[in-house]
Structure 1
Amino acid sequence: MAEYDLTKTIIPYLDRHLAFPLLAHLVETNIFPVEQVRAAQYELAKGTNMVDYAVNLFEQLHPDGEVPAEFSAKREKALSTNERLQQEAQAVLDVIEKPEVAQAMRQDKNQNLQFLKDSYGVTLEQIHALYNFGQFQYSYGNYSGAADYLYHFRVLSTDNELNTSASWGKLASDILTGKWDTALEELNTLRETIDSRAASTPLLPSSSHLESRQSLYSRAWLTHWSLFVYFNHPSGRALLLDTFLSPAYLNTIQTACPWILRYLAVAAVLARSAAGASARARYALRETVKIVQMEEYQYADPVTRFLTELYVQFDFEAAQRELAQADTVVTDDFFLSEFRDEFLDNARYLISEAYCRIHQRIDISDLSARLNLSPEEGEKWIVNLIRDTRMGADAKIDLEKNVIEINRPALPIYQSVIEKTRGLSIRTQAMGAAMARAVRNSKSRVVFHQAMFNWMFFVSINGKGPAYEDVKYISK
């Protein structure tokens, strides 16, 4: 199933350290030749300060080869750089970790910087040493140490660009150390930062286009990094649905990375078994099916085609075939492999529910075959399904004829209206927010155009010289 592997598609959106776990998973799955995966690991490791790891990979690739001398020089340089940066950073940490300094800290960063400068002579350059050492520790493979230094730097720094960079580094460090609660907090912080920058759109059209493109890239990167958190945090799948179905990130997925639809589809299927998420899960599943159908021309795999065949084409035989392939795809996927059994269980439930919804008399053997189960397993599955769901009052099993008879009462008209309009309130809120942003932008452009008209009128009275041409250019 190498054609459905997304590793080489996802890696360009990751930091090289985040790519190592994906490549290690490929070694275990044997989808690609191990030598090729080792070579990819080695090429990534060469760009870091993890010299011993790179040497180990080189020796695996070339058992009889001699280790290049450049690694020895690189190791010595890394050790000396680490010692120098540690001394610079430790001088700042010794100050800010004093109890009296910690008690004197306030919410205002500028006030804190002035206090540290006046009382202890700490300068901005010394505070930047925390960032430099944290960044070096990350490249060195000491992710927990990197997270600590980047956190302390962000507490003191007033440089927005470096603070954002430190947030990315701390998120990667928390992911690689498996601190999923902290990683989720960092993920939300970065998401708020990106959204706030996107909301403050500059006035000039060229700058607006550049800012929109930058926001798209940032959201695309955050979408891929978030997969580590959402598929490891206990509440991650529900949070993934909330994030990826929001207008901004849904637009990012459709525009820049449609392959993320695989993870959206799996999360929608897994949501069925989440506690207390029945109505929410049904809404997420309906929206996901619509999006998967809409973007089928851009991306499709057995997971997305399973939903399309089941809910769009109502082709149960095709859905059965796609589910059999989706089993392998989910098993081989780095992010999804741990959810293989839960995914299959929920997918079979969805097939059973859809099949029972359009039939009144169902042969148990036929339904078992559609679920890729033996007759005995299928009978147990169907009995448990009827017992644990709302079908219990409407369905009866005739063991002599080996069939299920379903007598479903007609749905009241008002209930039909409620079901069809359930998602309108959410869409209305999204449209209202979009219209409000459009109105704000249009008002600012009206003010801008009025000012440009006045400037052009003033300049034209004094002759069409260079100033007139400059104003004309700006107005365009």
Structure 2
Amino acid sequence: MAEYDLTQTIIPYLDRHLAFPLLTHLTETMLFPVEQIIKAQYELTKGTNMVDYSLSLFEQLYPDAEIPPQFAAKRDSVVSTNDRLAQEAQSVLEIIEKPEVAQALRQDKRQNLQYLKDHYGLTLEQITVLYKFGQFQYACGNYSGTADYLYHFRVLSTDSDLNLSAHWGKLASDILTGKWSVALEELGSLRDLIDSRSSSSSSSTANLTGAPGSEVASALTQLQARTWLLHWSLFVYFNHPEGRTLMLETFLSPSYLNTIQTSCPWILRYLAVAAIVSRKASTSGRLRHAIREVVKVIQMEEYQYTDPITNFLKELYLDFDFEGAQRELSKAEKIVGDDFFLGSFADEFLDNARYLISEAYCRIHQRIDIARANGRYSDLSERLNLSREEGEKWIVNLIRDTRMGADARIDLEKNVIEINRPALPVYQSVIEKTRGLAFRTQALGAAMGKAGQIDIVENGTTVGDGDAR
């Protein structure tokens, strides 16, 4: 199953510290030689201040080699820099943590900076040391300390670029310390910041230059930021109790769905699993139809990305090939178990995937055998890879726990289930066909309108982009 492993695909979109857990997980799955994984870990540590960890990896790779002197030199440098930055940061914290200062601070950051400068001689340059020390602590692997320093820095800083960087660092620190509720809040704040920053930047740049190229650059920056956010959010969404439902809401929104289709179609694996395991938790109308939307995207992006998980939904809902869905599910079960983000959902995934097969099978057939003669399994039990007894229990529970209970009847004499489903009224068919049409039309119109607003100032006359060409 190494061919379906996405670790090497995902790591380029992660911070190097976020990549360490993925590589550690690979040593447990045994998909790749352990020596290759340790070498990759060692290469990653070269860009950090985790000297002792890097040294331990070096000794595993080269047990008979002499330890290079640069390890000791780097350790001394890290210790001296840490002492200097810690002293500078502590002097700043002693001021801003005073009760009278905390009471005097307001929402206006510029006013706060002026107050700190007038009363305590504290400048923005001195406050920036909190960011530098937080960044240094992150490079050393002290993630809890990083989160604290970056939080205090963001409260006071007016530097938009450093604040955005601090948001990313705070999110990574919360992820690596396992504070999933805090990380979820940080994720939402960062998403809002990326969207607002991109739109404001695009507007101001266009007004200054009057050229469409600036808007293209801003859109590219927005696409890159959203692509990174999609990958980082996987840590949060697959660990927070409500993460899968929230993931569907975010990933199926037009902007992020477009990002997936444009730059990272492999995210469809995680979107598909989230839709499958969230079938019972979905309460809103749109989330109840999440699988349908995911299947449509899988069909459109099949030329870019496919794996047994996406193929399972394709075989089941597009081709109605139950044997093919069964084959793909057997492969998908192993992939989910080996995936870093999905491993803890392997049993839940399999249970819900079998439910989807059962539901689709029962919607197509009007008569289903519970048990066959000569000891053979029922047809549905074979589709689910279950024994006869397990299949019987599964089918009975399926009818009892789902909406099919009103349409199905079990005939114990004949050992069959008879499903008498009333025909769908014409008007209801029309509603089903046009569901979401207004939303998709609105989104398409907005996209076309945005494209048509790109103007070029030429000879003092504003003309449309299309006219200029």
TM-score bracket, normalised by the shorter chain, equals: over 0.9
Post-superposition offset of 1:253: 1.0
Aligned partners of 1:453, 1:309: CA distance in 2, in Å? 52
List gaps (5 residues or longer) in structure 2.
371-377
How large is the RMSD of aligned CA atoms in angstroms?
A: 1.8
The correspondence of residues 69-468 of structure 1 with structure 2, limited to 5 A, is: 69-200=69-200, 201=202, 202-203=205-206, 204-274=211-281, 276-277=283-284, 279-364=285-370, 365-431=378-444, 433-434=446-447, 437-438=450-451, 441=453, 445=455, 448-449=457-458, 451-452=460-461
Displacement after TM superposition at 1:207 (Å): 1.4
Q: Deviations over 1:178-207 (max 9, x none)?
A: 111111111111111221233232321221
Cα deviation digits, residues 240-298 of structure 1 (max 9, x gap): 11111112111111111111110111111112121635x33332111100000110010
Offset of 1:317 from its aligned partner? 0.2
Distance 1:56 1:453, change over 3 A: closer
Give the distance between the partners of 1:57 and 1:301, measured in 2 at CA: 33
Equivalent position amino acid for 1:238 in 2: T
1:12 and 2:16 aligned: no
Contact 1:174 1:180 in 2 (8 A): yes
What SS does the corresponding residue of 1:67 show, helix, strand or coil?
Answer: coil
Q: Is the 8 A contact 1:154 1:166 kept in 2?
A: yes
Per-residue deviation, 1:436: 5.5
Q: Partners in 2 of 1:355 and 1:67 — Cα distance? A: 63
Q: Distance in 2 between matches of 1:374 and 1:34?
A: 38
Is the contact made by 2:245 and 2:282 (CA closer than 8 Å) also made in structure 1?
no
Give 1:369 deviation, angstroms: 0.8
Offset at residue 398 of structure 1 (A): 2.6
Amino acid at match of 1:103: Q
Distance 1:263 1:99 in 2: 47
In structure 1, how many angstroms separate the alpha carbons of the residues matched to 2:158 and 2:3? Answer: 47
Return the offset for 1:15. Answer: 0.3
Letter in 2 for 1:347: A
Structure 2 residue identity aligned to 1:263: Y
- 1:130 maps to a residue whose letter is L
Asked if 2 retains the 8 angstrom alpha-carbon contact of 1:283 and 1:423, the reply is: no
Identity fraction in percent? 72
Counterpart residue number, 2:48 = 48
Q: In structure 2, do the counterparts of structure 1 residues 210 and 149 end up closer, same or farther at CA, with 3 Å as the change threshold? A: same
Match of 1:460 in 2: none
The residue type equivalent to 2:369 in the other structure is D
CA distance in structure 1 between the partners assigned to 2:441 and 2:241 by the alignment: 30
Aligned partners of 2:146, 2:288: CA distance in 1, in Å? Answer: 41
Q: Structure 1 residues 453 and 407 mapped into 2: Cα distance closer, same or farther (>3 Å)?
A: closer
Return 422-431 or 231-240, whichever deviates more.
Answer: 422-431
Mapped to 1, the partners of 2:161 and 2:73 lie a distance apart of 33
Whether the aligned pair in 2 keeps the contact of 1:241 and 1:267 (CA below 8 Å) is yes
Alpha-carbon contact 2:248-2:287 (below 8 Å) kept: no
The offset of 1:334, in angstroms, is: 0.3
Give SS of 1:219's match: helix
Q: Indicate if the aligned counterparts of 1:112 and 1:156 stay in contact, CA closer than 8 A.
A: yes
Q: Which runs of 5+ in 1 are unaligned?
A: 455-474
Partners of 1:121 and 1:181 in 2: CA distance: 37
Aligned CA distance change for structure 1 residues 93 and 264 (closer, same or farther; 3 Å): same
CA contact 2:134–2:149 (8 Å) conserved in 1: yes
TM-score by length of 1: 0.91
How many angstroms apart in 1 are the aligned matches of 2:282 and 2:192?
28
Give, in angstroms, the shift of residue 415 of structure 1.
2.0
Separation in 1, partners of 2:448, 2:327: 44
For 1:3-42, what aligned pairs fall within 5 Å after superposition?
Answer: 3-42=3-42
Residue identity matched to 1:109: K
Query: Does the CA contact (< 8 Å) of 1:363 and 1:402 recur in 2?
Result: yes
Number of residue pairs matched by the alignment: 451
Give, in whole Å, the separation in 2 of the partners of 1:407 and 1:140.
65
Deviation at 1:420, TM superposition (A): 2.1
